[in-house]
Amino acid sequence: MEKFFTDAQVYLPILLQGALTTVGLAVAALVIATLFGLVLALMRYSGNPILSFLSRSFINIVRGIPVLVQLFYIYFVLPEFGIDLTAFQAGAIGLGIAYSCYMAENFRAGLEAVDKGQLEAAQSIGMGWGQMMRRVILPQAVRTVLPPYGNTMIMLLKDTSQASVITVAEMTFQGKILAASTFQNMTVYTLVAGLYLCLSVPLLLLAWWLEKRFGKK
């Protein structure tokens, strides 16, 4: 046990650098997933059959492809088409696109949970579609969306570890390098697991609070 704490003092600074990259990657991917997911949800909710078809098709295709394959494609294949991305950019975009589909389903559920009478009332007083979404539908949909949104954030944070396969220097990648160079697998991966838990606990508490606050109507 004494050796564990001695080694931890050496390894922790390196892993904490990876943790900063993990947090940055998670935030970047979350922004992409939220914005793109909202667009996909609005396309399905628009009532336009073409937009709805395109949204459903995109969601089904992306959800049918493993995240790792998507990351490989973005990082290794897109350069053949002249699109060169850093590992971090590829990781953020890949995870953002993958999770936008889950976000889209969350947002769609929130939009459809709004009473249709609210929609009819907004139309009856002459509100346009955009104004109706901003002032009537979206504010009410937030109540339904927030609890699953918190859970999705936790899933996304943990899945940033998959970006290590395209050499993003996040926490898992740093752990692999440390373990390979020191052969202290137990110490290194215990620290990695502990750091992921430290990052996840605040989000777990946030998700629990959101479910308690907004889960019941």
User: What ranges do the domains of the chain cover?
Assistant: 2-214
Going by C-alpha positions, the residue among 21, 19, 105 that lies closest to residue 60 is 105
Are the C-beta atoms of residues 210 and 149 closer than 8 Å to each other? yes
Going by C-alpha positions, the residue among 210, 103, 209, 105 that lies closest to residue 156 is 103
How many angstroms separate the CA atoms of 206 and 209, rounded? 5
The pLDDT value recorded for residue 149 is 87
The pLDDT value recorded for residue 129 is 67
Going by C-alpha positions, the residue among 31, 103, 102, 10 that lies closest to residue 63 is 102
Are the C-beta atoms of residues 40 and 59 closer than 8 Å to each other? yes
Residues of the chain short of pLDDT 50, as ranges, are none
Are the C-beta atoms of residues 217 and 38 closer than 8 Å to each other? no
The pLDDT value recorded for residue 165 is 92
The pLDDT value recorded for residue 216 is 53
The pLDDT value recorded for residue 215 is 59
Domain range 2-214, CATH architecture = Orthogonal Bundle (1.10)
